[in-house]
Amino acid sequence: MSAAIALLLAMPLTVYVLAGIFLLKDNGADSRSFRALTFRALLLALLIYLTPAEDRAWIALGAGIVVLLHLGAQYGLRYLISSGRWPAERNE
């Protein structure tokens, strides 16, 4: 059970961290989003800290899934379009 909780907590935390990194590039560190994300990320980090140490491996797994999903979606779409594989259907 705690492993599943660790996994569930890690995934949004990774989204926040990724979004925070990108926001630094987008808007600068003083943006409202950055502050809100930092707050939420710290909250999640605290909750993760409270999970048993033996479940921490699941956190890495959750983070890895999110990074893969995010970058996979971005680059996957780019690949599909540039290779002409998508959209394959004729529309007229």
Partner 1 sequence: MQDPGAWAAPLTDSICADASLTGGKAAGLHQLLTAGLPVPPGYVLPLPVFEAHLPAAVPAHKPERPAINDDLRTTLARICQELSPGGEAVVVRSSAIGEDSAQASFAGQHATYYYVDAESIDKAVVDCWLSLWSEQALDYRAERDAGAFGMAVIIQRMVQAERSGVCFSCDPTGKHPDQAVLEATWGLGAALVDGRVSPDRFHIDESGRITARRIARKRLKVAEDLRDRNGSRLEPIPLKQQTEPAVSDIEAAQLATMARQIAADTGTAQDVEWAIDGDEVFLLQSRPITGQPPVTPKVEGRWVLFKPTAENFSEPMTPMTVDLLRRVVPPFGRFIGGRFYVNVDLLARLLPWDLDDESLADVLLMRPLPESTQLSPGRVAGLVALLSGAYLTGGVGWHRTANLDLSKLSAFESRCRQVLDAGDIKALPALTQLVLNDHPFRPAGEFAVQANISSVRYFILIEALRRLLSRWAPDFDETKLALICSGGADMLSQQMVEGVRELAAEAAADSNFAETLKRDDVDLQGAVLALGEYHPFAIALERFMNRFGHRCVRELELMTPRWWENNTTVLAMVRSFLAREPERTEPYGLRLAAEDELHQALKHRWQRRIADYLAERIRYYVTLRENTRYYHTMAMDVVRQKLKALEQTLLQTGRLRCEDDLFFLEYQEAMALELGQLEWQDVEERIRERRLHYQDRALQTPPDTFNLEARIPVLSDDGRMLMGDCASPGVATGRARIIHDPTLAGDLKAGEILVAPYTDPAWTPLFPGAAAIIVEVGSFLSHAGTVAREYQVPCLVDVHGATTRISDGAELRVNASEGWVEVLTP
Using DSSP's 3-state secondary structure scheme, residue 27 falls into coil
Place of tokens 């909250």: 43
Q: Cα–Cα distance between 18 and 43 in angstroms, integer?
A: 16
**Applying CB under 8 A, does 65 fall inside the site for partner 1?**
yes
**Applying CB under 8 A, does 18 fall inside the site for partner 1?**
yes
Of 29-37, 43-51, 52-60: span binding partner 1 (CB under 8 A): 29-37
Q: End-to-end distance of the chain based on CA atoms, in angstroms?
A: 52
Cα torsion angle, 24, 30, 36, 38, sign: positive
**Applying CB under 8 A, does 58 fall inside the site for partner 1?**
no
| Residue ranges binding partner 1 (CB under 8 A) | 11-12, 15-16, 18-19, 22-23, 25-27, 31-33, 36-37, 65-66, 69-71, 73-75, 77-78, 81-82, 86-87, 89, 91-92
